[in-house]
Structure formats: C-alpha cells, structure tokens
C-alpha cells in the first residue's frame, strides 16, 4: 500500500495517493507498526500539502512528528535504526515548516524549526558520546516568546535559518526588541550569489559595512 501511494504521488495523482496512504496507515495501526504509521502520516501530510489542503496536511504532520519522537524513545540500543528514523523525522519537520509558512504562520514554523534543530543537536551528541541517558535529558524546545527572551537577555539579534528543500531557505531574524522578521529565499546555484541574496533578505551587510552594532547568532537547523 505504501509504495503504491508513493507511486501515485510521483505521478501527480494525489487523491489516489491519499487513498493508499490511508489504507497503509489503517493496516499499520492494526498491526502496531509505529514506523509505518509515522511514514504514512508523513506521506499523507505531503500529499495534502501538494493539494494545498494545509489543515489536513498540518494535522497529519504533527501526528507524524509525535509518532517519530515516541519511536525514538523505544530505540535506546538500536543506533542504526535511530539514524534511519532521524532522516525520516527531519523530512517531516521540513514539510511541516513549509505548510505553516503556506498558512502564513511563520512564527509557528520557527518553533518547528527550533524543535528540529534541538533534535539534530541531540542526535549529534548521541553519536559522539553514545550516552544512552541523553534521550532523557533533552532540553525542552523554546517557544517563540522564549526565543525572543533569549535575544533580549543577550542583547543580540538572533538569525535562524532552515533549509526546507533543495532550493528553499527560510530565515527568521529575532531582534532584542520589536517583531520577528521572516523571509523565504529561493536558493541560486551560485553560492556567492546566495550569500548576497541572503544578506539582502535579512538586512545584514557584509563585514565592510558600517552596521557593526548588529550582533548575529546563526543557528542552523534541519
């Protein structure tokens, strides 16, 4: 069912793909296969996103994220599986950010970006120190208000970005005071042009500029 759904998705028959993804989800729930449940929810979210049915997409993607995170808690000693799960989980984070931005909810997308960044950081630490207790001490992901508070406390402009697809970059600029600014940038092939476009999009000049009072902290995410 899963592969038929993906095949129809690739062909652009999204309604047919949704039918198969729903069948796959139903079977996975009946047999208790959490990984297929999460993958089916992710695929449903992606298909609804392509149909621009963003509420349905958002609902399924949030459920997928919750399922992925629950799976990881059960895989304490299965590192190979965790790597595979992380790649799928990161994809779900990216899709949900795109859906939220399409719904004109960039601040909610920022929270999902931060949630994914926290997960990526924990994954890196886990691989390096192989601490089985690390999953139990994951710090809570900050919400928008807490991110703004960090900027105020440090008196610094925070810049967070998220690469959500091969050619799309999301950028949030969090100043110590004032509103958070959001930009969506289409990535060019030329990296120098990318740097120029990115700086222009977020209002940050190069090293030779006179705008030396602006402090930046760049936090990459998945």
Q: Which pLDDT belongs to residue 173?
A: 96
| Contact indicator for 9, 18 with CB cutoff of 8 Å | no
Average pLDDT, the chain: 80
pLDDT digits (tens, 9 = 90+) for 80-121: 555 567 778 889 999 999 999 999 999 999 999 988 887 766
Within 10 angstroms of residue 58's Cβ, the number of other Cβ atoms is 21
* Domains in the chain with CATH codes: 2-104 (1.25.40.10), 145-221 (3.30.420)
Q: How far is CA 26 from CA 33, 127, 163, in A?
A: 10, 34, 32
Q: Which pLDDT belongs to residue 191?
A: 58
pLDDT digits (tens, 9 = 90+) for 161-180: 898 988 899 999 999 998 99
For 85, the token pair is: 């799960």
Which is more confident, 130 or 49?
49
Alpha helices in the chain (DSSP H): 2-11, 14-31, 34-50, 54-74, 79-102, 106-129, 144-154, 191-202
């Amino acid at each position: 069912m899963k592969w038929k759904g993906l095949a129809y998705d690739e062909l652009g028959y999204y309604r047919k793909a949704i039918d198969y993804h729903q069948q796959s989800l139903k079977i996975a729930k009946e047999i208790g296969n959490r990984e297929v449940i999460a993958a089916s929810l992710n695929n449903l979210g992606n298909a609804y996103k392509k149909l621009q049915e963003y509420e349905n997409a958002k609902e399924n993607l949030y459920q997928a994220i919750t399922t992925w995170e629950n799976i990881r808690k059960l895989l304490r000693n299965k590192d190979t599986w965790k790597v595979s799960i992380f790649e799928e989980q990161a994809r779900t984070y990216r899709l949900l950010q795109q859906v939220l931005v399409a719904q004109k909810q960039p601040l909610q997308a920022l929270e999902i970006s931060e949630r994914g960044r926290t997960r990526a950081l924990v994954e890196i630490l886990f691989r390096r120190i192989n601490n089985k207790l690390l999953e139990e001490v994951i710090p809570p992901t900050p919400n928008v208000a807490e991110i703004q508070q960090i900027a105020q406390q440090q008196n610094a402009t925070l810049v967070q970005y998220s690469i959500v697809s091969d050619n799309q970059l999301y950028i949030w600029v969090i100043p110590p005071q004032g509103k958070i600014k959001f930009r969506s940038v289409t990535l060019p092939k030329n990296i120098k042009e990318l740097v120029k476009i990115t700086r222009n999009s977020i209002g940050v000049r190069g090293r030779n500029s006179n705008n030396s009072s602006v402090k930046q902290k760049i936090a990459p995410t998945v």
